[in-house]
Amino acid sequence: MKKSIGAGTITFPTPTWVVGTYDDARKPNVMTIAWGGVCCSKPPCVNVCLRKATYTYDNIVNRKAFSVSVPSEAHVKAADYFGIASGRDTDKFADTGLTPVESDLVDAPYVGEFPVVLECRLLHTLEIDLHTLFVGEIVDVKADEDVLDENGKLDIRKAKPFSFDPAGRGYHAIGESIGQAFSIGKPA
């Protein structure tokens, strides 16, 4: 018998992703989100969900583009800061010493020091209520060479992304593999 713990955004895991955008003056900005995910395989798309009040909201609407930079465990302090401060008040790249890199494909910057980045072109905007869901087509994924394996494939153990737990509000490392998908559950 399960116990009701009430309606809320209490589920896990959720990602810790940093959304990069330019404002009207082309100042690069970043904000951290946990509300988002992959949402389509063809074309490859991610969605990021933001409140209208964020500085990033207008940037995405105006530039029709954003990036998603995936931080490593080593960047947890900066990623958390990017979710606390607002680009309306400060330059978060300058504050942290991290490097805004201009995408060569979309009108958005990404975080040079984070190991994996997605460059996204705005495809859809869905106003839900407090949050707006932006769907971006992933036009390219770029990664640091040192997080690729010997076959050039992204290696999660090297990239060391982390997840967010909305219940305990903690960031959690990715743990060990417990099985391969489309394989471990195959009927014998």
In the window 26-65, what residues touch its own copies (CB under 8 A)?
Answer: 34-47, 49, 51
30, 79, 98, 108: residue in contact with its own copies (rule CB under 8 A):
79
Contact between 107 and 22 under an 8 Å Cβ cutoff? The reply is yes
Residue whose CB is less far from its own copies, 61 or 154 = 154
Torsion angles phi and psi, residue 170, rounded to 5: -110, 155
Of the pair 25, 187, the CB lying nearest its own copies is at 187
* Among 20-28, 59-67, 83-91, the segment contacting its own copies (CB under 8 A): 83-91
Q: CB of residue 48 vs its own copies: minimum separation in angstroms?
A: 9
Paired strand residues for 133: 49, 126
What does the alpha-carbon distance between residue 78 and residue 96 come to, in Å, rounded to a whole number?
Answer: 7
Q: Which is nearer to its own copies, 25 or 184 (CB)?
A: 184
Q: How far is the CB of 24 from its own copies (least distance, A)?
A: 26
Of residues 162-181, which lie at the interface with its own copies (CB under 8 A)?
Answer: 162-181
Neighbours of 182 (CB within 10 A): 6
Stretch that binds its own copies, among 19-27, 57-65, 74-82 (CB under 8 A): 74-82
Among 24, 53, 130, 150, binds its own copies (CB under 8 A): 130
Question: Closest approach of Cβ 92 to its own copies, in Å?
Answer: 10
Nearer to its own copies, 24 or 127 (CB): 127
Distance of CA 19 to the CA centre of its chain: 6
Is residue 116 involved in binding its own copies (CB under 8 A)? yes
Cβ proximity to its own copies: between 24 and 81 the closer is 81
- Say how far apart CA 11 and CA 128 lie, in whole Å: 19
Cα separations (Å) of 83 from 3, 34, 70, 158, 186?
32, 10, 14, 24, 40
Question: If residue 83 lies in a helix (H) or strand (E), which one and from where to where?
Answer: helix 76-84
Query: What's the CA gap between 48 and 18, in Å, rounded?
Result: 10
